[in-house]
Amino acid sequence: MIVLKTIFSRWWIMIRLVKNEYIKIGFYKIIIMFITFFIIVCLLYKYNSLDVALNKSFNLIPFVGVSSSILFSGIISTEYTNGNFRYYLTKPVKRWKIYFSKIISIFLYMLILVAFLILVNLIFIKKFDTSYIYKFILYSSSLIFIGTHIIFFSTLFKNTALVVGINMFITIFSFIVSQILLGYGFVLIEYTPFPYLELNLFDDKMMFYSINQDLGCNLSLRNGIIIDIIYSILYYILGNKMFNKKDIRI
């Protein structure tokens, strides 16, 4: 019984920390994001056939990362500027729990938004397409790295505007920059996550066959998922270490 109470109290603290993150961000901002995505999906099906709209819906996945960057890039950096860290000094909550609750907040937002997009698309096509759901979830796996990337740079820099700019630039232009670097013979870029932040592009197999032939690389969906996960773990460990060593000044 005591063990159950201890487990429950620990999870309750984590739930409260996550809830607190959403309160600080503002639920209305999150609702606006969901409404925006809903309108975009509606426009996709209004001006395209069902098949075309369904294929184009994969292009929304990177923008889940963009919206996460807009909402969460200040998840740690703003704590420095508005003095919220002073509050943590008065509470017996370990720093790793605070950091973990913040990254859970980002992932939870992404997970719910991805599920929402899948549901809306299925409503439009009026059938339960398991292959579509599988592909959408598979292509969304790059969001794991984007989430850890957001919180890592928010920990690294105190300037929220700078963090937003960096995260949005990398999320939107990483694949283009990777192609340019590969074109100049910088082959090591294919072993970083940056060519794999838009996994939905791998739906066009002929395009990547051509890219691999022309640039002498081996970009693939499988490699991308593995690399994204490995770097996500590394970013989380580094970010957590930096957060735990941060000097909190009163």
Q: What is the pLDDT of residues 135-160, one digit of tens each?
A: 999 999 999 999 999 999 988 887 77
Q: How many CB atoms lie within 10 A of CB 106?
A: 25
Q: What is the pLDDT of residues 69-106, one digit of tens each?
A: 999 988 887 776 666 666 665 666 788 888 898 999 99
For the chain, how many residues are written? 250
What number is the average pLDDT over the span 127-133?
92
Position 228 pLDDT exceeds 90 = yes
Q: Which residue has the higher pLDDT, 164 or 146?
A: 146
Which residues, at least 6 apart from 155, have a Cβ–Cβ distance to it below 8 Å?
76, 77, 99, 239, 242, 243, 246
Which tokens sit at 61? 């996945």
Global confidence as pTM: 0.89
**Predicted local distance difference test score (pLDDT) of residue 3:** 44
**Number of separate helices (H) and strands (E) present in the chain:** 12, 0
